Amino acid sequence: MKYVSTRGQAPSLDFEQVLLAGLARDGGLYVPESWPVLTANEIAGLAGRSYVEAAVAVMQPFIGGTLPAEELAAIAQNAYGRFVHPAVTPLVQLDPNLWLLELFHGPTLAFKDLAMQLLGILMDRSLRRMGRRATILAATSGDTGAAAVEAFKGREAIDLFVLFPDGRISPAQRRQMSTSGAANVHTVAVRGTFDDCQSLVKALFNDHAFRDAYALSAVNSINWARIMAQTVYYFTAAVSLGAPYRKVSFCVPTGNFGDIFAGFVAMKMGLPIERLIIATNSNDILTRTVGTGRYEPKPVVATASPSMDIQLSSNFERLLFEAAGRNSDRIRELMTGFATSGSFALEASELAAIRSVFAASRVDEAETAATIASFDRQSHYLADPHTAVGLAAATKLKGNRSVPMIVLATAHPAKFPAAIEAATGRLPVIPERLQAALSGREDYSTIAADPVAVRDFIAARSNLAPANAS
Ligand SMILES: *Cc1c(COP(=O)(O)O)cnc(C)c1O
Higher pLDDT: 381 or 198? It is 381
The answer to whether position 101 is within a domain reads yes
Give residue 309's domain range: 87-109+225-424
Rg (CA), the chain: 21
Q: Is the CB of 174 under 6 A from ligand 1?
A: no
Mean pLDDT of 138-167: 94
Query: Does residue 362 have a pLDDT over 50?
Result: yes
Total structural domains within the chain: 1
Q: What percent of the chain has pLDDT over 70?
A: 99
Mean pLDDT of 442-464: 94
Q: Distance from the CA of 330 to the center of ligand 1, in angstroms?
A: 28
Q: Distance from the CA of 315 to the center of ligand 1, in angstroms?
A: 12
Query: Does residue 467 have a pLDDT over 80?
Result: no
Query: Does residue 49 have a pLDDT over 90?
Result: yes
The answer to whether position 400 is within a domain reads yes
Query: Does residue 205 have a pLDDT over 80?
Result: yes
The answer to whether position 200 is within a domain reads no
For residue 199, give the nearest of 380, 41, 403, 338 by alpha carbon.
338
Return the pLDDT at 65. 81
Q: Is the CB of 120 under 6 A from ligand 1?
A: no
Where does the pLDDT of residue 221 fall: very low under 50, low under 70, confident under 90, or very high at 90 and above? Answer: confident
Where does the pLDDT of residue 470 fall: very low under 50, low under 70, confident under 90, or very high at 90 and above? Answer: very low
The answer to whether position 78 is within a domain reads no
Q: Is the CB of 259 under 6 A from ligand 1?
A: yes
Contact by Cβ (8 Å): 28, 6: yes
Query: Does residue 382 have a pLDDT over 50?
Result: yes
For residue 461, give the nearest of 222, 52, 193, 162 by alpha carbon.
162
**Greatest CA separation for the chain:** 64
Q: DSSP code of 154? A: T
Helix then strand count (H, E) for the chain reads 20, 16
Contact by Cβ (8 Å): 442, 175: yes
List the 134-139 sheet strands across, edge first: 216-218, 134-139, 158-165, 185-191, 445-448
Pocket test for ligand 1, best of 109, 143, 276, 391 (most atoms within 8 A of CB): 143
Q: Distance from the CA of 253 to the center of ligand 1, in angstroms?
A: 6
Mean pLDDT of 393-397: 96
Q: Which atom of ligand 1 is nearest to the CA of 112?
A: 15
The answer to whether position 362 is within a domain reads yes
The answer to whether position 117 is within a domain reads no
Query: Does residue 388 have a pLDDT over 50?
Result: yes
Distances (CA, A) of 347 to 114, 158, 297, 314, 331: 35, 43, 18, 20, 12
| Arithmetic mean of pLDDT over the chain | 95
Query: Does residue 468 have a pLDDT over 70?
Result: no
**Start-to-end CA span in the chain (Å):** 36
Q: Is the CB of 114 under 6 A from ligand 1?
A: no
- Partners of residue 95 on adjacent β-strands: 98
Pocket test for ligand 1, best of 176, 386, 420 (most atoms within 8 A of CB): 386
Global pTM reads 0.95
The Cα 310–Cα 431 span in angstroms is: 28
The Cα 74–Cα 259 span in angstroms is: 24
The answer to whether position 342 is within a domain reads yes
CATH of the domain at 393: 3.40.50.1100
Q: Is the CB of 257 under 6 A from ligand 1?
A: yes
Q: How many CB atoms lie within 10 A of CB 288?
A: 17
Higher pLDDT: 399 or 196? It is 196
Q: b/e per residue, 167-186, with b = 16+ CB within 10 A?
A: ebbbebbbbbbbbbeeebbb
Q: Is the CB of 411 under 6 A from ligand 1?
A: yes
Per-residue pLDDT reduced to its tens digit, 15-48: 999 999 888 989 999 999 999 999 999 999 999 9
Pocket test for ligand 1, best of 308, 310, 387, 391 (most atoms within 8 A of CB): 308
Helix (H, G, I), strand (E, B) or coil at 349: helix
Per-residue pLDDT reduced to its tens digit, 187-204: 999 999 988 998 999 899
H/E run at residue 292: helix 285-292
State the pairing for strand pair 445-448/185-191: parallel
Where does the pLDDT of residue 364 fall: very low under 50, low under 70, confident under 90, or very high at 90 and above? Answer: very high
For residue 123, give the nearest of 184, 175, 210 by alpha carbon.
184
Q: Is the CB of 256 under 6 A from ligand 1?
A: yes
The Cα 108–Cα 430 span in angstroms is: 12
Q: Specify whether 398 is catalytic.
A: no
Which residue's CA is the closest to the ligand 1 atom numbered 8?
A: 256
Mean pLDDT of 450-464: 93
Per-residue pLDDT reduced to its tens digit, 316-347: 999 999 999 999 999 999 999 999 999 999 99
The Cα 267–Cα 255 span in angstroms is: 20
H/E run at residue 344: strand 344-345
From the candidates 2, 112, 202, 268, which is the catalytic residue?
A: 112
For residue 384, give the nearest of 418, 358, 434, 361 by alpha carbon.
418
Query: Does residue 414 have a pLDDT over 80?
Result: yes
Per-residue pLDDT reduced to its tens digit, 22-31: 889 899 999 9
The answer to whether position 289 is within a domain reads yes
Per-residue pLDDT reduced to its tens digit, 231-275: 999 999 999 999 999 999 999 999 999 999 999 999 999 999 999
Q: Which atom of ligand 1 is nearest to the CA of 104?
A: 13
Helix (H, G, I), strand (E, B) or coil at 220: coil
